[in-house]
Amino acid sequence: MEIVFTMHAEYRILKRNILKQEVIEAIRYPDLTFKKHGKYYYKKAMDRGKIEVVCEKTENNIKVVTLYWV
């Protein structure tokens, strides 16, 4: 499955100083995953702190909607 980023997610990556590789790692190897209001949430503890990534899934890809430090 391909991981794609919305423009909003791209902005949040820059604004919150999170690396794209950290986001991809959180999606592929999450510490916690849950679904709420039709969106998928991935939490991952990183060296610099915990991040949460909010995504929408389709048949062919995972679309990153937003992300933030927890």
Q: Tell me the residue range of the domain where 17 lies.
A: 2-69
Query: What's the total number of domains in the chain?
Result: 1
Alpha-carbon distance of 57 to 50, in angstroms, equals 22
How do residues 24-40 score in pLDDT, each as one tens digit?
A: 999 999 999 999 999 99
Alpha-carbon distance of 30 to 39, in angstroms, equals 15
pLDDT for 1 beyond 90: no
61 and 42 Cβ atoms separated by less than 8 Å: no
3-class DSSP state of 9: helix
Q: What is the DSSP letter of 15?
A: H
Cα dihedral 45, 34, 60, 70, rounded to 10, equals -40
**CATH number where 38 lies:** 3.30.2310.20
Q: Is the pTM of this model over 0.85?
A: yes
